[in-house]
Amino acid sequence: MKKEKITEPIIKKSTTSHSKKVVITPISDGESRIQTAILQERERIGMDLHDGIIQALYGIGLNLQNTRMHLGEDNHAIDERLNQATQALDAAICNIRAYILNLRPRQLQDENLLVGMRGLIREFQANTLVEVEQQGEEVEVASLPAINAMALFHIFQEALANIARHADATKVNVRVWRVDQRVMLRVSDDGVGFDSARVEQRIGHGLANMQTRAQNVGGGMEVISIRKQGTTILAWVPLN
């Protein structure tokens, strides 16, 4: 039997009626990796919130303060500033909804992959009003192992969250199909796209997460993006 590497211990305190004991529980190498991943994800979320939503709300506040200083002057200019603040608030709300969509835990449970994806699409459309077209037959993924189906499911969830946060898209096309011993997932949007050579850190982290999920089950992922034309994500996992 393979032994896991033991790293730094967890110290737990237990109290009895007569004395206090310190119980030292070692952390396995697997638990250590999970804790590291959690800390990295918390750091990413903090950076995203600070650089995105918080900065946007701060800018809205400054705009409203400036508008208040000019009350009674040029009504047209005041209306313009208020419209800008309203639009910025709407964008911030959409951004927050996108984070909630991505952070809320999702599991397939006993659902077919395509059925689970339809649930994600319904919630995505409710939060973004973006049109989504889905193609795929449940029979083609019926024999997909649960762990591989879950990997594609979470890749799709991350892809939708990235579209909601960054793409400014009006339409998304989703296709799932089987090729030989692979199940393929393609997600395309008509959004703003990005330069893959100079991808922003927030987008890059999400793409890295998807790539890791695919590779962990023996699959892979490719990304094609053209500025002002959109982005296509192609992921695949083995059928067995």
Could you list the beta-strand ranges (E) of 145-193: 171-179, 182-189
* Span 179-205, pLDDT tens digits: 989 999 999 999 999 876 665 555 567
DSSP 24-37: EEEEEHHHHHHHHH
Higher pLDDT, 176 or 36: 176
* pTM (2 d.p.): 0.62
208 — pLDDT class (breaks 50, 70, 90): confident
* Band of pLDDT at residue 112, cut at 50, 70 and 90: confident
Q: Which residue has the higher pLDDT, 101 or 234?
A: 234
Confidence of residue 11 (pLDDT cuts 50, 70, 90): very low
Could you write out the DSSP letters of every residue in 114-172? HHHHHHHHHHHHHHH--EEEEE--GGGGTTS-HHHHHHHHHHHHHHHHHIIIII--SEE
Rounded Cα distance, 219 and 44, in Å: 25
Question: Counting runs of H as helices and runs of E as strands, what totals does the chain give?
Answer: 6, 7
Mean predicted confidence (pLDDT) in 12-25: 50
d(CA 220, CA 214): 5
The phi and psi torsions of 184 (rounded to 5 degrees) equal -105, 145
In angstroms, the CA 232 to CA 151 distance is: 18
More confident residue, 58 or 223: 223
Residue 10 confidence (pLDDT): 43
**How much of the chain exceeds pLDDT 70, in percent?**
65
Mean pLDDT calculated for residue range 124-145: 90
> For the sheet containing 131-135, what is the strand order?
131-135, 171-179, 182-189, 230-238, 220-226
Three-state DSSP class for residue 181:
coil
Average pLDDT, the chain: 77
Kindly tell me if the per-residue pLDDT of 210 is higher than 50: yes
Give the pLDDT confidence of 29-86 residue by residue, as tens digits.
656 666 665 666 666 666 666 556 667 776 777 777 777 777 777 777 777 878 887 7
> In the chain, what are the domain boundaries?
1-104, 107-238
Helix extents (H) in 192-238 = 201-216
- Give, in words, the CATH class of 107-238: alpha beta
